[in-house]
Chains A and B, each alone.
Chain A
Amino acid sequence: MSIGSPARTGASETAPQAPDRRWRLPDMRIPHSGLILMLILVVALASFQTDSFLTTTNLLNVLRQVSAGAVIAAGLTLLMTAGGMDFSMGSVVAVTTAVAAQLIAHDQPVWLAIVVSMAVATVLGLVNGLVVTFTKVAPFVVTLATATLLDGVFLVILEGLSVSVGAELSELGNGTTLGVPNLLVVAVIVLAATAFVMRYTVFGRDAFAIGGNEDVARLSGINVVRAKLVLYGLAGALSGLAGIMLLSRLAGSSPGTAGLPMQLTAVAAVVIGGTSLHGGRGTVVGTTLGVLLLGVVANVLNLLQISSYYHLISVGAVLLIAAVANQLHNRRK
């Protein structure tokens, strides 16, 4: 009813503040400052522990490795901001690699393999969208089901074997432009485009409105059904792109590529970046930092030759810490 707690207005504060005796976290006026701090800590720790971390080769390698995941995470950020969820993106990535790899292995032209597999990915995203929009089943349930289903389809397409594409895609996977890995270039373009859409287009703002309150969005003249279908379709298309990127880096598709584990890492990155699970809030910058943090942690564990068993433990721990920090941050605001 009343003014409650008005926004802290930063530099314009002039009135004396009463001393607050309670212990409090450092004031996080810079967005994502907690996340940046965490990233700096990990990087500093890694540089002390091993000389091979802070080398151009290694850093570029990290960035190449996180590129495909970053593309998924970008699509997921937009979707989750609109209150949606897609657990099947990693599995769509897997299916894309399998379809493209089989086509190339069966002597089809590379461009055809790319077009067909990405079309398949887009259609899969749209199917998720149709089911979610028209049955009103929770997206969590729908996409977890399709994820499991597609992980199986993936194995069927590969017939359980590894399929190599040789050097057909190595220009994308290993090539560089002006010294920057091509994979990284693609990821940066996708992230930048997503950030632009979210901030400067009405479609992006529709996503915030739908995530904030779907009823209000519909009553305000936003075509919610169409927006959701586009968002799920886009999630599928970006998964397809990520699939091609992954295939080019690994030079083949084999059981165990992508799938649900890749998806969970992407969800973790988005959540670490501060996007709300309830929708209505999200930033690409946060997601990018989340992707980087998880990528760097994985790389450091690798360099320190720590058993891969600890990989899952570290992703889980980072996610937990970041989620708690976000929550504390939001509550203080």
Chain B
Amino acid sequence: MIIEFTLHQLLPNVFADTGIEKGSSDVWQVDLTFQRGQSYLVEASSGRGKTSLCMFLYGLRTDYSGEIAVTTTEGATCRLLDMNLDELRQRSLAMMFQDNRLFPELTAVENCLLKNRLTNHLSEQEIRSKLMQLGLEAKLDVPCGLLSLGQQQRVAFVRMLCQPADFYLLDEPVSHLDDENIRLMSDMLQQAQSATGAGVILTSIGRELPYHYDHVLKL
């Protein structure tokens, strides 16, 4: 189980030439720790590297300087990239991608089941129920390619919940949602965090999920 992420002087390669003005970011080129059980809102305008940060923490991208270390419950600290990332993505790190990354030919339920097959975290009934809670009862068995962006965002959110997690990483999760759905999503995330004691790291470009944030970081 991951209990914290520690970022040491992390900087995306894309900023290597221009650099980051000292003190202008709470995340880049500083030493920072994300702790399990805490909620973090990472705010930034476009192009500051919100998605990059999520991808770095999720281990999908490595185009950065500095280091990301992970501390586990056993007390061991090691580089994130030295860990079994596939296993982390099934047991520790749940991610909601900015572009949702759904399979357009699969239905809402099938997309969630595809993830759940790896983890066996929820039953199909629970998945259907969560999708319905987010107002998708009429869209459960519709291919995701036919859903609106907002509906797809809700499906991607439920898929993220289809696994046990130490950290939920949400990359601009509410950019296409109305207030009512944002509130519903916020409640469900709160529920999941309370149940698992996970940490939440959420990026936002302005429209943010109303939530109890322990830390608000400027990127």
A and B part of one assembly: no
